[in-house]
Structure 1
Amino acid sequence: MEDNLTFAITVFTGFFAITNPISNMTIFLSLTEGADKETKRSINKRANITAFMIVAIFVLLGKFIFEMFDLSVPAFKIAGGILVFFIGFEMLQSKKSNVKNLKNVNVDENIAFSPLAIPILAGPGTIVTAMNYVSDPTFLKICIVICIFGLLSLTTYFTFRLSDFVVKTLGTNVISVIGKVMGLIIAIIGTGMVIAGIKIAFDLSS
């Protein structure tokens, strides 16, 4: 029971850092600038539902994907860890990750799918993180990961709903600091994934 609770907390921390709903508020606001409240709500809802479905599919089909492409757990952890670390490192440097680079996006409801759902909410880093948690899957672990990401999607939905109020209250400087902290957490998570992959590959004791 305690191991499952620890695992759930780890998953929540990882997903919260990589999806970064607080920093993503500014992206949501910039993409929906000029839209009325009803349109913003529709885009917000569709984006989070789509992101949840994408991650859930990868979590459920993770084992099949591993077998189909003949992926090994150590290789996936190492490659995935490097990718996650790179995203965190870019955030620490106050850069937008290349997978989140947004230019010349028109305000219409299609932005709910791209770029909001993909790649901002369910980008490569999020998918890699999710699949890493189920690289050695059990039914309970799969359920925990899906439920935790569902909780994060709900959190992101309400965060975006309150985005105008929060940004005005906290200011862009505070949002930027939060983004850097999240970047550090993501970089640490990525490093941990690489270390775990190396340990498995060389059969090193923990």
Structure 2
Amino acid sequence: MDNLITFAITVFTGFFAITNPISNMTVFVSLTQGMDKKVKRDINKRSNIIAFIIVTVFVLLGKYIFELFNISIPAFKITGGILIFFIGFEMLQSKQSNVKSLDSVNTEEDIAVSPMAIPILAGPGTIVTAMNFVSNVETIQIFLVIGIFGFMSILTYLTFRASDYIVKLVGNNVISVIGKIMGLIIAIIGTGMVITGIKISFDLITA
């Protein structure tokens, strides 16, 4: 039970850092600026549902994806760790990650799907993090990861719904500081994945 609790805390911390509801809230506000409340709520709800479905599919089918493309767990952890570290490093520099960059957004298109669901809420970093958590684990841990991401989706939905109030209350400077802290956590998670991948490659730990 203690191992499951520790695992759950690790998963929650990882998802919270990579999805970063507070930081992504500013993106949501900018994309939905000028829209009425009903449209905002609809975009908010659909984007989180779609993101949850995408991550769940990768969590459940991750093992088969590995087998299909002949991807080894060490290679995945090292490559995924480098990607996640890169995202965190850019956040620390107050840069918007190129993985999530939005050069131009046509608000006439369904922004609930793109860019909100993909790549902001369920981008490569989120998918890599989720698949890393379920690589070589038991079934109960797989469903625990899905449940925790579902909770994160609800938390993100509530954060986006209160976005206008939160921005006015805390200000952009505080949100920027939170983004840097999340960037540091993401970079640490990425480094940890790389170290684990190297250890598995050289049989320093059991895969």
Q: TM above 0.5, one fold?
A: yes
Moved more, 167-176 or 103-112: 103-112
For the Cα contact (< 8 Å) 1:35–1:107, is it kept in 2?
no
Map of 1:53 onto structure 2? 53
For 1:12 and 1:153, locate their aligned partners in 2 and report how far apart those are by CA, in whole Å: 11
Map of 2:203 onto structure 1? 203
Q: 5+ residue gaps in structure 2?
A: none
1:160 is the counterpart of 2:160: yes
For 1:160 and 1:18, locate their aligned partners in 2 and report how far apart those are by CA, in whole Å: 16
> Runs (4+) of structure 1 moved beyond 3 Å?
none
Kindly provide the amino acid, as one letter, of the partner of residue 30 in structure 1: S
- 1:109: Cα distance to partner? 6.1
SS at match of 2:70: coil
For 1:19 and 1:76, locate their aligned partners in 2 and report how far apart those are by CA, in whole Å: 20
TM-score, with length taken from structure 2: 0.97
For 2:49 and 2:108, locate their aligned partners in 1 and report how far apart those are by CA, in whole Å: 17
For 1:2 and 1:24, locate their aligned partners in 2 and report how far apart those are by CA, in whole Å: 32
Residue by residue over 1:134-185, the C-alpha shift from the partner in whole angstroms, topping out at 9 and shown as x without a partner, is: 1113210111000000000000000000000000000000000000000000
Map of 1:101 onto structure 2? 101
Map of 2:125 onto structure 1? 125
SS at match of 1:193: helix
Q: 5+ residue gaps in structure 1?
A: none
TM-score, with length taken from structure 1: 0.98
Kindly provide the amino acid, as one letter, of the partner of residue 168 in structure 1: K
Q: Say how many residue pairs are matched.
A: 206
Coordinate RMSD, CA, aligned: 1.0
SS at match of 1:62: helix
For the Cα contact (< 8 Å) 1:19–1:126, is it kept in 2?
yes
